[in-house]
Amino acid sequence: MQNINLVRMLDFQQKGDERGQLVVAEGSGKDIPFEIKRVFYIYGSDADVVRGCHANRKTEFVMINVAGSSKVKVKDGEGNEVIYFLDKPHTGIYLPTMIWKEMYEFSKDSVLLVIASEHYDAEEYIRDYTVFEKETKMEK
């Protein structure tokens, strides 16, 4: 199975009134398709900066631009790639394991929230694209 087929946009419930908007994203399969173990966010990146440039063997992610916008390019190591534009605080992108990700074209006010299924473990990161390609071919 190609993991790129598992990448998908998520639309979170919005609740709002004259006081403003509230977006709810619950873990353990309710809104986020995994148990949440880590949360971090990226901000202050210039438009020409590329972040990410890695794949993960064990960690799944959900990315939400809670302010501003950015693009996320995903690749499967087999020549397939898709670009997602995140610009709404109530939508996100789900990334399964073994997906190469690159985040870029950050707007000046971008805050990219990242929700992860695992605690940080440098050993499970693949930071060389040729190694990633080899490992995706070995999975078959």
For residue 136, which of 92, 90, 104, 99 has the smallest C-alpha distance? 99
Compute the distance between CA of residue 40 and CA of residue 77 in angstroms, rounded to an integer: 26
- Say whether domain 3-138 belongs to CATH 2.30.300.10: no
Q: Tell me what the pLDDT averaged over the chain comes to.
A: 94
Active-site amino acid positions: 54
**Confidence (pLDDT) at 140:** 58
Q: pLDDT (tens digit, 9 = 90+) per residue, 55-67?
A: 999 999 999 999 9
Q: pLDDT (tens digit, 9 = 90+) per residue, 87-102?
A: 999 999 999 999 999 9
Compute the distance between CA of residue 99 and CA of residue 76 in angstroms, rounded to an integer: 5
Average pLDDT over residues 22-28: 89
For residue 51, which of 124, 110, 106, 125 has the smallest C-alpha distance? 106
